[in-house]
Structure 1
Amino acid sequence: MWDADGRIMQYDATFRWFGFLLDTLVEALATSVNGTASQATAALTQRLATTVCDTHDQYCTGENQQYDNSTACYNFLTTAIPLGKDYELGRDTLLCREVHEHMVQYDPALHCPHIGPTGGDYCVNDQTYAQKVLQKYFNESWIVGVQSTEDKWLGN
């Protein structure tokens, strides 16, 4: 959904087969490095962390800076948080930061915190399962002219 200025207000994305993609990627990486799934996961973690840190260094400058330097960024992403599971894209994981890394270039002030150590209110572990699934899902109704305070799927 876009606002009057053409900016995205909200979106609904489903990473339907992401678990299969992640498993296939790790398996292919294990084969290419002639190693185990654990070694491939470590290599994937290193590659994703490097990519997120490169994006941070390029776009998250001045007030948007989240890490003191590339080494601090890399160390945090590879040791302080897990890579994450396919269903943890909104949790305090490297995978969550990798998803948000692609948006940083478009609005660094908004998205740099998402790839930073705090997770910027997106890549966080601040809710239980029940809280997460029962929260109001959208800010605005997807149905024109329909407002609902009761249906978490409609918004408003």
Structure 2
Amino acid sequence: MLDLRLVLLLAIAGIGVGSAKQHKPKPDWYTRNRNTVQAIYNLTVYPNNLVIFSGDIPPGLFNENATGRIDPVGDFFGFQDSVEYFFGLAPTPTGQAPNGVFSSADVVEFVSGCPQVAASTVYFTDRTLNADNTTGELVSMLKQVAFWHFDDDGAVLDYDAWIPNIPKQVNLTQPGFFTPQGMNITLNTLCAAQASTCVGANQVYTSPEQCYEILSQRDFGDWDEVWGDNVICRTLHVRLALIRPEVHCPHVGPTGGGKCVYADYVQAYFSNDTQVFGPSGPGTFTCDTYED
């Protein structure tokens, strides 16, 4: 009987050891990929995001030929396009309540099963900015889920990202945005901003009044679908016009400049995957560790 008990105890101990979670050392490429993703998001935090206006983007984050999609904003081609949309649209102080900025951007979920591919979830924390440039009360939070494809040096070559629940976040960061008064303020602010930014060869309206007259007849838009011939799309591009007016002022203008235009749903989100991500389409974000 004693021998049988001993056998049972050893068997139970063996099961416990065998089922214990085995931790393997992280490969260097895993740490490299995670650090790259976190470094990218760190540049969305105020005042780090101001580097987009000075042109001091650290090397090694994005490949010169980086392309990708950020849903619901659009498709982006090349280094400059990519960094503008990642960093140029991060909030900066407006002076208007709640005057929120990103105080942190934490990568809360991360996997990388091979050197070329990773996936992540980041939580942005939006807090009020005080007069002394310290951050104060919580305004809201925002999530971004992304797949990443890296080049041989660890820079991002392709990305496919999604930002859910933007309308709810906007309701907290810009109270009254979708009220008639709020939409009127947005239109006036947009038209005044383009008048001071899109000048000379980059002028797209004869006056703020003409801008208002034309855009007040367009769809206002929805944060769940920024692509389109609408006002919301142009509010993003008037911010980016501060960086490259020759590129983004046409997007603010009456024609939409090929960006703020109607986009067919299937074409925009599915049919042009190979144009955005290359010949493999969404397969770009799949590790080739295993054979099908």
Q: TM-score of the superposition, structure 2-length normalised? A: 0.41
Partner of 2:265: 129
Q: Deviations over 1:87-123 (max 9, x none)?
A: 2211111111111121111100000011111111111
Divergent runs of 4+, >6 A: none
Residue 242 of structure 2 aligns to a residue whose secondary structure is: helix
Measured at CA, do residues 113 and 154 of structure 1 come closer, stay the same or move farther in structure 2, by a change above 3 Å? farther
Contact map agreement 2:165 2:224 (CA 8 A) in 1 = no
Change (3 A) 1:131 1:139: closer
Match of 2:229 in 1: 92
SS in 2 for 1:3: strand
On the 8 A contact 1:97/1:115 being kept in 2, the answer is: yes
The amino acid across from 2:251 in the alignment is H
The residue type paired with residue 50 of structure 1 is N
Pick which of 10-19 and 59-68 moved more: 10-19
Give the letter aligned to residue 117 of structure 1: P
Change (3 A) 1:116 1:134: same
TM-superposed CA distance for 1:151, in Å, is 1.2
- The aligned counterpart of 2:193 is 55
Counterpart-to-counterpart distance in 2, 1:52 and 1:59? 11
Alignment of 1:7-156 (within 5 A): 8-10=80-82, 14-24=162-172, 28-29=175-176, 41-78=179-216, 80-125=217-262, 127-137=263-273, 148-152=278-282, 154=284
Q: Which amino acid aligns with 2:165?
A: W
Q: Which has the higher helix share?
A: 1
Task: Give me the TM-score of the superposition, normalised by structure 1.
Answer: 0.71
Change (3 A) 1:115 1:91: same
SS at match of 2:176: helix
What one-letter code is carried by the residue in structure 1 that aligns with 2:214?
F
Q: Is the 8 A contact 2:221 2:231 kept in 1?
A: yes
Inter-partner Cα distance in structure 1 for 2:166 and 2:220: 14
Secondary structure, aligned partner of 1:124: coil
* 1:60 Cα deviation from its structure 2 partner: 0.6
| Cα distance in 2 for residues equivalent to 1:118 and 1:2 | 31
Partner residue, 2:64 = 3
- Which amino acid letter does the alignment assign opposite residue 114 of structure 1? H
Structure 1 distance, partners of 2:283, 2:173, is 33
For residues 106 and 153 of structure 1, the distance between their equivalents in structure 2, rounded to whole angstroms, comes to 33
Based on CA coordinates, which of the two structures has the bigger radius of gyration? 2
Structure 1 stretch displaced more, 50-59 or 108-117: 50-59
Deviation at 1:128, TM superposition (A): 2.1
Task: Name the count of aligned residue pairs.
Answer: 136
Pick which of 92-101 and 16-25 moved more.
Answer: 16-25
Name the Cα RMSD after superposition. Answer: 3.0
SS at the partner of 1:90?
Answer: coil
**Residues 83 and 9 (structure 1), Cα distance of their counterparts in 2 relative to 1, 3 Å cut:** closer
